[in-house]
Structure 1
Amino acid sequence: MAKPGKKYQDAAKLIEADKLYSVDEAMELVKKTATAKFDETIELHVRLGVDPKYADQQVRGAIVLPHGTGKSARVLVFAKGEKVKEAEDAGADHVGSDDIVTKIQGGWFDFDVAVATPDMMGTVGRLGKVLGPRGLMPNPKLGTVTMDLAKAISEIKAGKVEYRTDKAGNIHVPIGKASFEASKLADNMKALMDTLIRVRPAAAKGQYVKSITVVSTMGPGVPIAPQA
C-alpha cells in the first residue's frame, strides 16, 4: 500500500484522534485539510444502519442542495418532437434519441446525468446494461423520467444530487467545493441529512445513522458526531 504523501500526513495531524466534531467545526477543518492545487470536491460519507440487500431497506433519492455542488452537470436528454426544443431551451448539453443511443453503444459517455421523457424509455431501455452500472439510467423516482424537462434540467443544473446506499449501507454525496464558505457546506450537509432521516425505511431497526464523515478529494476524513 502506498504511503500517504507529506501534505496528507500534515493535514491528518490537524484532526484529533477519536474526536467527533460538530458540523461547523468539521466544515472549517475539511477546508483546512484540502491542500491540493485544484478546487477539491467536498464529500459527505454516511454509514446507515440498513441492509440494502433487502428492497425495503434501500435508501435512494435525489435532493437539490441549497448552495449547489460547485459543478455544472452535463445533462443528456432523450427526447423527440417538440420536446427536443424544450430541452435545448432549458440548457441541456445534449439532446437526441436513436442517434444518442448509437453513440453510447459506441462508448460515448460525455455527460453526468441522463433525463428522458416517458415515451423514450423503450428506446433508452436498450442501454440498461451500460447506463445502469454507471448510475446513469433515467429513473422516475429521481425525477429523471419526466415530461417536465425544463424543471428537471433546471434542478440538475442548480445542484441536484443523487444519494444511494452501496452494498455496505454507505452513502457518498458531494456537498460542494473547498472554495465554498464553511457555512454553505454546513447548509448543504444539513439539507442532505434532514432528507436521509426523513426517508428512513420503516424496516430499519436500531441506530439509523451509524457514522458521518466529511472529506475532501485529496484529504483525510473528518468524523462528525451523528447527533450534531
Structure 2
Amino acid sequence: MKHGKKYNEIAKLVDRTVAYEPNDAIALVKKTAIAKFDETVEVHIRTGCDGRHAEQQIRGAVVLPNGTGKTVRVLVFAKGDKLAEAEAAGADFTGGEELIPKIQKDGWLDFDVVVATPDMMGVVGRLGKVLGPKGLMPNPKAGTVTMDVTKAIQDIKAGKIEYRLDKTNIVHVPVGKVSFTEEALLENFNALMDAIVKARPSALKGQFLRSITLASTMGPGVKVNVTKF
C-alpha cells in the first residue's frame, strides 16, 4: 500500500522496533493523527487462538467508561410491552415481523446495533444472511438477546462495544476518538484489555496475546507492550 509524503513523514515518529507502554502508545497515536476529521482510535489484538475450534472462540462485549465518541443507532425487535419499553429507553427504531421485508427487500440498514428479545429470535433468524455478514446479528454473549431491553439500550448508548475474533484470529475494536484526552483513551483501552484477558479460552495452550497495535483511522500502527497483559 502506497502512502503519501505527509503520512511517511508522520510515520517516522513511530519506532517500529519498539513495543510502547500503553500511555506512550496512545500519546503517539494522537500525535500521528493528521486527518482533517476526528479519527477513530482502534486496537488490533492478534491472538494465539484458533477460531476454527468453537472452544477457542472469543466473543463478548464491554462498556467503555468514556464511550466511543460515536452516536449509535439501535434497532430493537420486540413485541407487546417490550416495544414500549424499548422506545422509552431510547431505541432509535423498534418493530417486529413487519421490518423483515424492509431489511431483506429494500436493503434498509440505517442502524448500528440490533437488540432482540428471546421470543423474537425466530423472526430475526430469517435475517441471518443479511445481518450475519455485517456482524449485526443479535447474540446472547454480546448482551443483545435479552428481555432487559432497557439495560441493553442504555449500555449500547453509553459506549458498549462488541469484540470477536475475525477469520485471522485478530480482534479489532474502537476505543474512542483522537479528540479524547489521553487519560480517557487509556481508561477505555484498559477496560477493553481487562475484558479480553478474562475472555481467554480455557482450551487455549500457549501464548494468548501475540501482539497489540494501536492506530488512528488514517495513522500508522503503534505496537503496545504485551508483557503486562
- AA aligned to 1:94 is F
Between the aligned partners of 1:179 and 1:169, the Cα distance in structure 2 is: 29
Displacement of 1:142: 1.1
The whole-number CA distance in structure 2 between the counterparts of 1:35 and 1:99 is: 45
Amino acid of the structure 2 residue aligned with 1:182 = E
TM-score normalised per structure 2: 0.97
Any idea what SS the aligned residue of 2:98 has? helix
2:108 is equivalent to residue 73 of structure 1: no
Mean Cα deviation higher: 87-96 or 99-108 = 99-108
Q: Retained in 1: the 8 A contact 2:25–2:222? A: yes
1:98 & 1:207 partners in 2: Cα distance? Answer: 45
Answer yes or no: is the 8 Å Cα contact 1:72–1:159 preserved in 2: no
Per-residue CA deviation, residues 145-201 of structure 1 (Å, 9 max, x unaligned), is 111111000000000000001121100000000000011111111111111111111
Runs of 4+ in 1 over 2 A off after TM superposition: none
Q: Name which of structure 1's ranges 155-164 and 191-200 shifts more when overlaid on structure 2.
A: 191-200
Deviation at 1:12, TM superposition (A): 0.4
What's the % identity of the aligned pairs? 62
Match of 2:49 in 1: 50
* Residue identity opposite 1:103 in structure 2: K
The residue type equivalent to 2:36 in the other structure is K
CA deviations 1:61-107 (Å, max 9, x no partner) are 00001111111210000012121111111110100112211111121
**What runs of 5+ residues in structure 2 fail to find an aligned partner?**
none
Deviation of the 1:133 alpha carbon: 1.0
Q: Paired residue for 1:155?
A: 155
Q: CA RMSD in A?
A: 0.9
1:202 aligns with 202
**Distance in 1 between the 2:154 and 2:218 partners?**
30
Q: Tell whether 2:94 aligns with 1:101.
A: no
- The residue identity in structure 1 corresponding to 2:116 is A
How many matched pairs? 227
Residue type matched to 1:172 in 2?
A: H
Cα separation, 1, equivalents of 2:29 and 2:200: 27
Structure 1 position 7, deviation (Å): 2.3
What CA distance in whole angstroms lies between the structure 2 residues aligned with 1:206 and 1:123?
Answer: 41
* Contact kept in structure 2, 1:63 and 1:160, CA below 8 Å: yes
Contact 2:16 2:222 in 1 (8 A): no
C-alpha deviation, 1:6, in angstroms: 2.1
1:141 counterpart residue number: 141
